[in-house]
Amino acid sequence: MTQKPSVHLDTVLQHTGTADFDPVTGAAPVALPPVRTSTVRFKNLDALQQAAEGKARGERSVTYGRIGMDTHAALEQVFCELEGSERAFLASSGLGAITLALFSVLNSGDHVLVADCAYGPVRYLDKTVLSRMSIDVNYCRGTVEAMAAQLKPTTRVLYVESPGSLLFEMLDMPALARFAHEHGLIVITDNTWGAGYIYRPLDLGADISVVAGTKYVGGHSDLMLGAVMANDPTLVRRINDTHYAMGYSISADDAWLAIRGVRTLAIRLKQAADNALKICEFFASRPETQRIFHPAWPDDAGHALWLRDCTGSNGMLSVALSLDEAASRRFVDSLTLFGIGFSWGGFESLVQWVDPSALGGHGYWQDGAHSVIRLHIGLENPQDLIDDLAQALARATA
């Protein structure tokens, strides 16, 4: 199908990756089947050679099943549409996508500045692997001033995430990108929160965007997936080569599930965002609430940046409560509609009791006395969720 350039992303997401018509019958299913393969067969040696030449030029040319055939290509196209990128590369998890992005651009001896609001396991990657490869990492607030203060002659990458993990700190992406480019640095950003739909960091100047498709793209808490997107041909080439060299690969079934999930991304995000605002209103009315972290909430410190840079929101929010540790744990344990679990972006509500040690490294967190609860607001009826939160607060404070 030829895509009209003027159609909206919502429309594109319904028409990307549908099955082609059978040339003989002129018929097709709507959904592309999951094309599972390890071996790619060729009609003759000429066809194989053409594929190998395309691959050598860095094109998406398949000689072997690892990078995947039609289903994978369709999902890559989905991510390109979402992020406004030239190419997308798939990894078997969001964290895998982060390692792909970093390994594509870093050499030993390089220095990386990581925004301290980034997804926690990035620190574990640093501690266990990057340090062993003599890659030097520093953490600081995701602001131009903080990053400028830590710049070294060996700095090569700014690794950021906006809004950040746990407290959803909005970063000024255009300012960070300008600063980075003045100093010849590459900006890698984790766009799992935005899923390429409500926030498009490549349009705002970032060089590489990483998305955990595990979250809102998949949308049903049933698959692990990551993707790395870029536009610059040199970067694309480096990611392409690293992706191949390192053997990143996902199953056709997971690609299929992600394509199926993304059809409803727009309406799921909108509903989750509407529900989350209702939950913010509820918390704002409660005496236990010290602060609400949700950039679409007017009192959030990042609200102005959110208004400027985002086109929507999602179901993620955190709330600082004036409960001691035991009471905040009682609150979490008393919830009946919120699953206690990591991850988010599915259809269901989740709660995480945020370990104070995880917040310790966030410069944005300045109120250590309170307990922080992170919620993922799902697609349940919001009044039911509010009733559940209210009864759990009553038990916590009883």
Ligand X SMILES: *Cc1c(COP(=O)(O)O)cnc(C)c1O
Write out the catalytic residue numbers: 66, 119, 190, 215
Nearer to ligand X, 316 or 392 (CB): 316
Nearer to ligand X, 96 or 382 (CB): 96
CB-based contact 335:388 (threshold 8 Å):
yes
Nearer to ligand X, 62 or 72 (CB): 72
- Residue 11 neighbours by CB under 8 Å, 6+ apart: none
Report how far apart, in Å, the C-alpha atoms of 287 and of each of 20, 264, 294, 295, 332 are. 58, 37, 18, 21, 17
Nearer to ligand X, 214 or 328 (CB): 214
CB-based contact 113:226 (threshold 8 Å):
no
* Footprint on this chain of ligand X (rule: CB under 6 A): 93-95, 119, 161, 165, 190, 192, 212, 214-215, 224, 226, 343
Torsions phi, psi of 268, nearest 5?
Answer: -65, -45
3 state DSSP class of 230: strand
- Residue 4 neighbours by CB under 8 Å, 6+ apart: none
Chain residue whose CB lies nearest ligand X: 94
| The pair of three-digit structure tokens given for residue 128, joined into one six-digit string | 């266990």
Rounded distance between C-alpha atoms, residue 190 and residue 237, angstroms = 20
Least Å distance between CB 336 and ligand X? 25
3 state DSSP class of 282: helix
Rounded distance between C-alpha atoms, residue 106 and residue 11, angstroms = 37
Least Å distance between CB 161 and ligand X? 6
Place of tokens 């979250």: 215
Q: Which residues pair with 19 in a beta bridge?
A: none
Nearer to ligand X, 70 or 318 (CB): 318
Least Å distance between CB 119 and ligand X? 4
3 state DSSP class of 107: coil
Least Å distance between CB 237 and ligand X? 24
Nearer to ligand X, 68 or 96 (CB): 96
Place of tokens 């369709």: 74
Least Å distance between CB 295 and ligand X? 14
